[in-house]
Amino acid sequence: MNILIVDDNNDKIAKIVSVIKTISENFNIDTVIDSISAQIQLKQTKYDLLILDLLLPLRPNQEPVPNGGEQLLKEITRNKTLKTPTIIVGITQFEEYKSNFSSIWKLLFFNDSNWITELTEIIEHTERSILFSSDLYKQKKPAIIVEGPTDAIIIKEAIQLFKPEFIDKIEIKSQRSAGASWVANQIVVWANLLNKDNDGKLIKCIGLLDGDQAGIDANTEINRVIKTDSSGANSFKVFKLKPDYAKNIIPVFKKGLIIPITLEELYPPELWKYAESKGWLEERSKMDELLKDPKSWNKWDETLKDYINKIGLNEDESIYLKTFKLTTKEKVVKYIVELNSVNKKSTLQNFEKLVCDMIEYLIK
């Protein structure tokens, strides 16, 4: 059975998943945190059950609005490109939003102790009403969950280059406009499902997070929701991108600048210079936040640019003071994918250690 949970509250998601798990561990569960992401999923997949929060962000990185769930319901009815779920269940902590939900579907109140029983009955009914095909129960694979589709493409290319024997044994998960908070959301679900293989061994997943503030916040959220002494904590590992995986950045760190590590920082200077020639780069914002020891910068007597020039970055190092434009990331990935095997391996050489470390965790 395919289930989609649309909710931006990880604590509530964890409790919903735990209820689902008491019925079956073989359901396919996807989660999104906003209306637009839900519509993307509904275009791709026919869900048997949609569990929908009423207080919901309309778009990624927006605050929840009281009629967010109501608007998504209207869009499901209006937009014929969306695959209408067989059953829709609303769930809310706020009784005052009751009028915002359709009278056709069941609305559960999260603060009411009966919600667990009611949701269980709905899931069991949905399960009985579906003709299951064998592929609904196919063996789950270890997964690498990444922040965006371009990240997924690059990780897949790197696995194909450096560990090709595992390319069909690992699933790489992402979605458009996913981001670090989406990765945290997926980890919460995975940790609560406790997927196991045919031998009863936990199937593991990895959350791959950038070394920026969003990645730090997502990791904090994961640690808040999933307790270290829980069974679910043994089913995943967060890989935070760090200078160890971006050897070209290490000299920059040694000279006192802290560059947030994303997958792009693993690319060699030659690719960055090519990207600059194509207009794919832009200046980083908040450059002063990159300083490891801001006390050594005399703001009264010298500009930030003068201070950075004084550090003595060479051409290969200074290129990393820029960043890739969000609008050009797909172009960069397309360029890499179309390289011949020799040039592609050279371009992705820093990914070898990352790929080997991730596979070692997933497969051991």
pLDDT tens, per residue, the chain with 364 residues: 899 999 999 999 999 999 998 888 778 999 999 999 999 999 999 999 999 998 899 988 889 888 888 889 999 989 989 999 999 999 888 877 666 677 788 888 888 788 999 999 999 888 877 754 444 445 689 999 999 999 999 999 999 999 999 999 999 999 877 899 999 999 999 999 888 888 889 999 999 999 989 999 999 999 999 999 998 999 999 999 988 999 999 998 888 888 899 999 999 999 999 999 999 999 888 776 776 665 666 666 777 777 777 778 898 988 998 999 989 999 999 999 999 999 999 999 999 999 999 999 998 7
> Cα(127)–Cα(122) distance, rounded to whole angstroms?
9
What residue ranges define each of the domains in the chain, with the CATH number in brackets? 2-137 (3.40.50.2300), 143-244+351-363 (3.40.50), 245-347 (no CATH)
By the 8 A CB rule, do 243 and 204 touch? no
The residue among 166, 143, 177, 164 whose CA lies nearest residue 62 is 177
Q: What is the pLDDT of residue 134?
A: 41
| Burial of 200: CB neighbours in 10 Å, binned 0-12, 13-18, 19+ | exposed
d(CA 121, CA 117): 6
Q: What is the pLDDT of residue 281?
A: 95
- Six-digit token string for 1: 């059975």
Q: List CB contacts of 223: < 8 A, sequence separation 6 or more.
A: none
Tokens 């935070």 map to which residue?
Answer: 240
The pLDDT, as a whole number, for residue 297 is 67
Distances (CA, A) of 77 to 59, 68, 130, 342: 19, 15, 22, 50
Contact (Cβ atoms closer than 8 angstroms) between residue 2 and residue 28: yes
Say what the pTM is. 0.76
Q: Give the pLDDT confidence score for residue 129 in this predicted structure.
A: 77
Q: Looking at residue 252, what is its pLDDT?
A: 87
pLDDT of residue 70: 87
